[in-house]
Amino acid sequence: MSKAAFKGGVHPAGRKEATSGTPIEEMPVPARLVVPMSQHLGAPCEPTVEVGDRVVRGQVIGATDAMVSAPIHSPVSGEVTAIGPTLTTGGTRVTAVSVTPDETQDLASFERVVAEGGVPAIVRAAGVVGMGGATFPSAVKLRPPNGMEITTLILNGCECEPFLTCDDRLMVEMPERIIAGAKIMAETVGAQRIVAGVEDNKPDAIAALREAGRSAGVEVVGLVTRYPQGAEKQLIWAIMGVEVPHGQLPAATGALVHNVATAAAVADAVERGKPLTERVVTVTGRVARPGNYRVLLGTLVVDLIDHAGGTVGEVGRIIAGGPMTGQALASLDVPVTKGTSGIVVLGPDEAAPDIHDDQPCIRCGRCPEACPMYLEPYAIANYAYRREWKAAEEFHPIDCIECGVCSYVCPTKRPLLQLIRLAKATAMQKGAKL
């Protein structure tokens, strides 16, 4: 077990029992798919098809020449029936291509990715992004900045958010694909060491990765279960014992971090030419059949919940992602995207109360004590609430990793994370960089 431990963090109840032992189940093709043209950080894609066009599974239906982006592929063969705005799980509206699937589908076949320029070009052409939730285009990370030598590839298998088990099941059921993708990425960036970090509440995943990675020399480290263990900077500290310097990229430490699901997608892209058109999603909480489902991108959340047997009892809130960093959904007519790791249905007694008025800060000191980034969340939030942006910037909101620990520990339930996000967004608009 790693002895390095990051500062701060919390120990929320795992709530993983309902799905951690549930094998991945294939969700049938839904009657409709709404495929957003923005499923990644960076420039959105523009549709490359028109209403009435026939498309095949794996065909590019959205693209852009922007460096920080990733193309979008049709998850099915069928007909383009609409192109227009759709609401996303994050609450924004983006352009989407709606596809009505053919009655019969061969999901084992797809239009293969063809690209020149080595592994990064193939990974980009396949539309692979960070699937732990960040959705940063993976091809960009496979081209480290000049002068930065990558010595260690770190596989992120922590899955520290409560409720979520999709990565856990992927490690248990498909460890060979994860290891294959890790080897490809390590060779691409010249890393000599591959380490998988997995929280120690996933013993089956640790055992599966160790068995699959033994011949490849992959180290598997069991990490202390503590949120946010899976955050990139905290994981680098836990694995390597080094801190990412302020204002610099993680690559400055010689580390490159990729989620385990991303590694599997890279293997599929490079070895099989398969574009990213589906992902595993944990559906849990107050549903009849909690589980881990392999879901076509563009599947509406309402259809996914129906496939999981529908909701059970009174519902307080439905969250896309985990309860610490996820977004409460205003509508279920929103599509699953590359970054959708889970759909969590909470009861009224489990959901945080709606806060309509600002709550007073009582200067208890809990948020700076728990903050894994050594920030003073209460100060940033106070200045952000008063719209004193220059003063807020002096407390470095740009360094916030948006883990939500500050809001979790606040005894007065102040919306600290939301206020810090405002300060961070304002700083970035002024030219500050992550």
Domain with CATH 3.40.50.11540 in the chain: 118-272
Closest CA to 327 of 340, 312, 314, 316: 340
Q: Is 152 exposed, middle or buried, given 0-12, 13-18 or 19+ CB atoms closer than 10 A?
A: buried
Torsion 124-129-130-131 (CA) sign: negative
Q: Mind listing the pLDDT tens digit for each residue in 59-84?
A: 999 999 999 999 999 999 999 999 99
Angstrom distance (rounded) from CA 70 to CA 215 = 33
What is the rounded distance in angstroms from the CA atom of residue 403 to the CA atom of residue 326?
Answer: 10
Average pLDDT over residues 281-303: 98
Q: What is the pLDDT of residue 55?
A: 98
Q: pLDDT tens, 127-146?
A: 999 999 889 999 999 998 88
The residue assigned the tokens 């732990």 is 132
Integer angstrom CA distances of residue 65 from 12, 70, 275, 343: 42, 9, 18, 32
- Residue range 332-370, pLDDT digits in tens: 999 999 999 999 999 998 876 665 556 789 999 999 999
**Which residues are within 8 A (CB) of 206 and not within 5 positions of it... i.e. 6 or more apart?**
198, 200, 220, 222
pTM exceeding the 0.85 threshold for the entire prediction: yes
Average pLDDT over residues 237-247: 89
Cα 237 from Cα 244, distance rounded (Å): 8
The band of 430, judged by pLDDT with boundaries at 50, 70 and 90, is: confident
**Cβ–Cβ < 8 Å for 209, 253:** no
Q: Does the structure show a pLDDT above 60 at 256?
A: yes
User: Given a cut of 50, is residue 99 above it in pLDDT?
Assistant: yes
pLDDT above 80 (res 107): yes
Q: Are 142 and 188 in contact (CB under 8 A)?
A: yes
- pLDDT on residue 431: 65
CA dihedral 27, 31, 35, 39 (to 10 degrees): -20
Predicted pLDDT at 432: 60
DSSP 162: S
In this predicted structure, the answer to whether residue 266 has a pLDDT above a threshold of 90 is yes
Could you tell me what percent of the chain has a pLDDT over 70? 96
Q: Where in the chain is the domain with CATH 3.10.20.600?
A: 25-111+275-346
State the fold for domain 25-111+275-346: Ubiquitin-like (UB roll) (3.10.20)
CATH class of 118-272: alpha beta
Question: Quick one: pLDDT at residue 6?
Answer: 83
Q: Tokens 């008063």: give the residue.
A: 386
Burial 288-302 (b: 16+ CB within 10 A, else e): ebbbbbbbbbbbbbb
Tell me what pLDDT residue 2 has. Answer: 44
What whole-number distance in Å separates Cα of residue 277 and Cα of residue 111? 11
pLDDT band at 423 (very low <50, low <70, confident <90, very high): very high
